[in-house]
Amino acid sequence: MRLRLCALLAFSVLPLVAVPAAGADSIPAKTVEPLSRELVTPESVLQLLVGLGVVVAAIFLVAWLLRRVGAVPMNNDRLKVVAGLALGQRERVLLVQVGDAHQVLLGVTQGKISKLCEFDAPVVEAEVASNEFAQRLRGALKVQGNKAP
């Protein structure tokens, strides 16, 4: 099948290439103008900068429009990820606080998010979780600081 396709392609292109070569003597030669020595001119640099400015402005305009429409998630005070735990390369368990007291335990995989459990009273306080992380980070930095020569 592949051989037939290659042969068909070769025989269909061959006449297109061979015909102009046969009649090349009857076609008068056209003069070719030499290229300008100065390839970078002030006009070309200005044109390049204006084009680049238009592209950057368009990117910022599209990002602003997406935020206005709501396609880009914004920070939300009513919904917070309180804690998370990686179970594998792409699997996580997240504790999300909804409102002031309601918390939901979610299982997150690459293709699915599942609600595992709901808590009416906070299981973990949001401030406590962030402070615990900060304390662990400080402790790890102190240990590395003591190991340095």
pLDDT of residue 142: 76
Specify if 107 maps to a domain: yes
Residues 91, 120 within the same domain: yes
Which residues constitute the domain of residue 99? 77-127
pLDDT of residue 58: 96
Residues 110, 69 within the same domain: no
Is residue 103 packed enough to be buried (19+ CB in 10 Å), middle (13-18) or exposed (0-12)? buried
Residues 65, 94 within the same domain: no
Q: Could you give the number of structural domains in the chain?
A: 2
What is the C-alpha to C-alpha distance for residues 84 and 129, in angstroms, rounded to an integer?
Answer: 10
Q: pLDDT (tens digit, 0 to 9) for every residue of the chain, 149 residues total?
A: 545 555 555 566 555 555 555 455 555 667 767 666 677 888 889 999 999 999 999 999 998 888 787 665 655 667 888 888 888 888 989 888 888 778 899 999 999 999 998 888 877 776 655 567 667 767 777 766 666 55
Rg of the chain over Cα atoms, rounded to whole angstroms, equals 33
- The CA-CA-CA angle for residues 108, 77, 93, to 5°, reads 15
Coil, strand or helix: which one is 78?
coil
Specify if 62 maps to a domain: yes
pLDDT of residue 107: 92
Residues 83, 67 within the same domain: no
Residues 59, 70 within the same domain: yes
